[in-house]
């Protein structure tokens, strides 16, 4: 996602944090965050040029097939295993479990900021997509009358158009609407979204599988080089974007609640 998508995911997550998770997040946030996780959620994208090794951690690509297999697909260009968005989520989650351990040598502030960002990214369908087109980055399209690439349409353009059409260009109004949906329209789905049997590892692998399916069934569907994407595409895809932002927020909260409520869960 772009900056706005990441902020929305984290604003939703903040509302679903338990008291102990909220307290731990407050303690880990840097001064510059102003006490809000959401302000730090786009940070990992600004670091993409400084932390070169972290660039592949934003996504995972498949060999042009509509399924995701960790052992086949989760690696960087040098073939190092686990160097993709799913591995990153599990790795930073693992680091955060050392919170409160005086022997921990991790920078848990960075671990939290990376985790919050990557849980957002794994829910952007085209962050789990085809290698050959770099998740839609090499597919040039027109978004209405403007030139864009397909990846950017899903990171930014659909969200911008939704905000403009429905929410008075206001991010906070859109977040409030998504929160409202979580307690009304989607309320029956939320417990399914939260369903994760894995104890200490996350269910990021499942979220990646959902994303590659959405890439094939929605993002790539009926798209070819230089196509114009307008109302037909927009009205059938924006509900997917809204749902993925909400799911990401719910699941980020779930992961953080499990990490920071662990003392209670272990006894």
**Residues at the site binding ligand ADE, with contacts judged by CB under 6 A:** 58-59, 61, 126-127, 129, 134-135, 137
Tell whether residue 121 is a contact of Zn ion (CB under 5 A): yes
53 close to 110: Cβ distance less than 8 angstroms: no
Determine which residue in the list 155, 174, 248, 250 makes contact with Zn ion, applying CB under 5 A.
Answer: 155
Q: 134 touches which of ligand ADE, Zn ion, none (CB within 5 to 8 A by kind)?
A: ligand ADE
Tell whether residue 237 is a contact of Zn ion (CB under 5 A): no
Q: Pick the stretch among 11-19, 148-156, 202-210, 213-221 that binds Zn ion (CB under 5 A).
A: 148-156
For the four alpha carbons of 245, 183, 115 and 69, in that order, the dihedral sign comes to negative
CA–CA gap between residue 204 and residue 249 (Å, rounded):
13
245 close to 8: Cβ distance less than 8 angstroms: yes
CA–CA gap between residue 129 and residue 209 (Å, rounded):
10
Cβ 59 to ligand ADE, closest distance in Å?
3
| Strand segments (E) across the chain | 60-62, 128-130, 140-143, 146-149, 228-229
Q: 59 touches which of Zn ion, ligand ADE, none (CB within 5 to 8 A by kind)?
A: ligand ADE
Cβ 166 to Zn ion, closest distance in Å?
22
209 or 253, CB closer to ligand ADE? Answer: 209
Q: Pick the stretch among 40-48, 166-174, 200-208, 209-217 that binds Zn ion (CB under 5 A).
A: 40-48
Burial readout 199-231 (b: 16 or more C-beta within 10 A, e: otherwise): eeebbbbbbbbbbbebbbebbbeebeeeeebee
Cβ 127 to ligand ADE, closest distance in Å?
5
58 or 243, CB closer to Zn ion? Answer: 58
């Amino acid at each position: 996602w772009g900056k706005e998508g990441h902020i929305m995911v984290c604003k939703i997550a903040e509302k679903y944090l338990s008291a102990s998770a909220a307290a731990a997040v407050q303690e880990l946030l840097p001064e510059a965050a102003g006490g809000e996780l959401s302000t730090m959620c786009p940070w990992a994208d600004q670091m993409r040029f400084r932390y070169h090794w972290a660039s592949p951690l934003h996504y995972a690509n498949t060999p042009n097939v509509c399924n995701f297999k960790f052992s086949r697909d989760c690696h960087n260009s040098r073939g190092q295993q686990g160097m993709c968005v799913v591995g990153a989520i599990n790795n930073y989650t693992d680091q955060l479990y050392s919170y409160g351990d005086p022997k921990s040598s991790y920078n848990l502030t960075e671990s939290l900021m990376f985790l919050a960002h990557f849980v957002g990214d794994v829910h952007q369908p085209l962050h789990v997509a085809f290698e050959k087109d770099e998740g839609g980055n090499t597919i040039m399209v027109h978004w209405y009358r403007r030139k864009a690439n397909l990846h950017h349409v899903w990171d930014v353009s659909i969200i911008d158009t939704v905000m403009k059409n429905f929410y008075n260009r206001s991010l906070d109004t859109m977040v409030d609407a998504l929160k409202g949906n979580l307690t009304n329209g989607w309320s029956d789905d939320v417990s399914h979204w939260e369903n994760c049997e894995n104890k200490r590892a996350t269910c990021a692998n499942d979220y990646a599988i959902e994303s590659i399916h959405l890439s094939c069934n929605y993002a790539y569907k009926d798209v070819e080089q230089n196509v114009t994407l307008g109302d037909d595409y927009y009205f059938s895809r924006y509900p997917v974007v809204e749902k993925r932002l909400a799911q990401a927020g719910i699941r980020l909260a779930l992961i953080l609640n499990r990490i920071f409520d662990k003392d209670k869960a272990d006894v």
